[in-house]
Structure 1
Amino acid sequence: MKAARQAWRRLEPVHGMIYFVPEATRRYAELGLKSRAGYFASRSAAMGRTSAEQVIATFYNFCPDLVRRALPAAWDVVTPEDMLTARSDAAAEALRRAGVHELPHLDETVGLARRAALAACEHLEGRPLFAAHAALPWPEEPVRQLWHAQTLLREFRGDGHIAALLTEGVGGLEALVLHGASGEVPSAVLRISRAWPEEEWAAAVDRLRRRGLLGEDDTLSAEGTALRRHIEDRTDALALPAYGALGEEGCERLAELARPFGRAVVDAGLLDLSGLRKSED
């Protein structure tokens, strides 16, 4: 399971950069959507003309009012098909800017990631956001194939993560508060990027204190640390149907190959968080 987690984490920047790169913002704007609406419409477009309720359910941790300001109004401006094309084009353009297409072992990395993604496609049950992306056609260009494969693996894992959170009675806002309390990402960044009002955030903090998951300084208590570890371990286990197809040796090889791809994305500045703003446009 450790090798599978490493394979996912090291290759994840190849997918995750799509939420931060200017190539995506520009292409969505050309279609008539500003940043927040572009994000919600582009990521949910695989599900068709999504409602706000579908996105609130499947994205899990955004303030519902923010989602409802973007959807379904975005579909009066663009089609899901146009958004899927714009997203794929933006991903390919950004990854080429990072030089991913020139890295050694691209074909082998694509092959392993695709095998894992196709194995995940045999386990659609209970994973709605993943299933929608699994129905999309595979692109032909290797860089686009790599991005598509990691997108599938990310959404497969993400749906499992939501199942683990629900099982433990941790809602979307509570999950953000616990994440911030871990110190991995500043709480202010999480609150602003998901557009939660201060009073609702404070109420969630209070609920988690009463559960014994936060200490007096609002960092994780021993119980909170143990719960987060349990949820992460359960998420890893739920992701194994994908990576199990590679076996331990294949996962170790993918983890080894993935490192320079993830590093290229980071070094090129494709994960620049400065684009997170208070704006709710």
Structure 2
Amino acid sequence: MSDPTPAHVRETWQTLEPYHGAVYFSPEAHAAYGELGVVGQAGYFASRAAALGPVGPEVVTATFYNFNPEAVRAALPAVWEAAPPEALLAARLRGMDATLRRVLGDEVLASEEMLRAAELASTAARATLAYLHGRPLFAAHTALPWPEQPHLALWHAQTLLREFRGDGHVMALVDAGLNGIEALVTHAAVGPVGAQALRTTRSWSQEEWDAAVTGLRSRGWLTDSPDLVLTQEGEEWRAAVERATDRLGAAPYLALGADGCTELRDLVRPWSRALAAELMPWAVPRLADR
């Protein structure tokens, strides 16, 4: 069994990410939170942080990393008075189940392909259990029970893989000396999501964004162009962050091997495409056959 390359690691994560990420845009999940009295951005913070328990805003600011701390404080800890973490976790899973049934259909959910994908993703996710140190958000999710139904087991496995990689990405950003908003600015300069969307969804003001841009220019990471353009130094630093993220997130995919990663991507790609087309259209170009 040959090991996957760093490119295979990143491609496998990218292909499966919409299968997990759909929960953040799922109308069914939002409705389930609303039934608990949790609405708007509070639903995102609380549902994703619920695995940590009824934590305060400082923990969520640290682990989510790129959100304005004031937005986090506006939601936490007050949200726990409306709904305890256990209720939010149940609502999240219930909402995702409804979304998968609506978008993919019961025939796909009951298929042999779904069962095989769940087995592969679970093998990868369980291989990460030896790497809890320094990964608080991931570690909290490992304590949650595994769903029995294959389509939800696949979603839970990708949730673990996503938070495993995400905690590693935070390590890489800290090592590079990038705070939350600076990380967003550099992401806007290279990624498919524009600056306006990244700034507003993370609740940063234009003034705060402009200050971060100015700071990165003074460090030599951004050019003086009115558009966000990385300098050569900035490109090298950002590429180093991505390489470190791939390296820190490689363990689960090494457990599958190159062939297992390819099989998992091929199985999940059409489902990720369907979910992305329905809920996250900007993610569709990442799901090319490869």
Residue in 1 aligned with 2:242? 232
Q: Which amino acid aligns with 1:102?
A: E
Name 1:61's counterpart in structure 2: 66
- Matched letter for residue 138 of structure 2: F
Cα distance, 1:85 vs structure 2: 0.1
Query: How many angstroms apart in 2 are the aligned matches of 1:102 and 1:120?
Result: 31
- The 1:129/1:183 distance shift into structure 2, 3 A limit, reads closer
Q: Which moved more, 1:126-135 or 1:218-227?
A: 218-227
Residue of structure 2 equivalent to 1:216: 224
Moved beyond 2 Å, runs of 4+: 100-104, 270-273
Q: How does 1:181-192 map to 2 (within 5 A)?
A: 181-182=189-190, 184-192=192-200
Question: What is the TM-score normalised by the length of structure 2?
Answer: 0.91
1:12–1:202 Cα change, 3 Å: same
- Give the equivalent residue in structure 1 for 2:279: 270
- Counterpart in the other structure of 1:84: 89
Alpha-carbon distance between aligned partners in 2 of 1:100 and 1:191, rounded to the nearest angstrom: 35
Change (3 A) 1:10 1:150: same
Alignment of 1:148-163 (within 5 A): 148-163=156-171
Q: Does structure 1 retain, via aligned residues, the 8 Å contact 2:22–2:280?
A: yes
Instruction: Tell me the secondary structure at the aligned position of residue 223 of structure 1.
Output: helix
- The alignment partner of 1:121 has SS state of helix
Separation in 1 of the partners of 2:279 and 2:208?
31
**Shift in CA distance, 134/126, structure 1 to aligned 2, threshold 3 Å:** same
Residues 109, 101 of structure 1: alpha-carbon distance in 2 compared, 3 angstrom cutoff: farther
Q: Which runs of 5+ in 1 are unaligned?
A: 274-281
Q: Give the TM-score, by structure 1 length.
A: 0.94
Q: Give secondary structure in 2 for the equivalent of 1:228.
A: helix
1:116: which partner in 2?
A: 124
Match of residue 32 from structure 1? 37
CA RMSD of aligned residues (A): 1.3
**Which of 132, 154, 172 is residue 164 of structure 1 equivalent to?**
172
Q: CA deviation at 1:252?
A: 1.8
Q: How many residues align?
A: 272
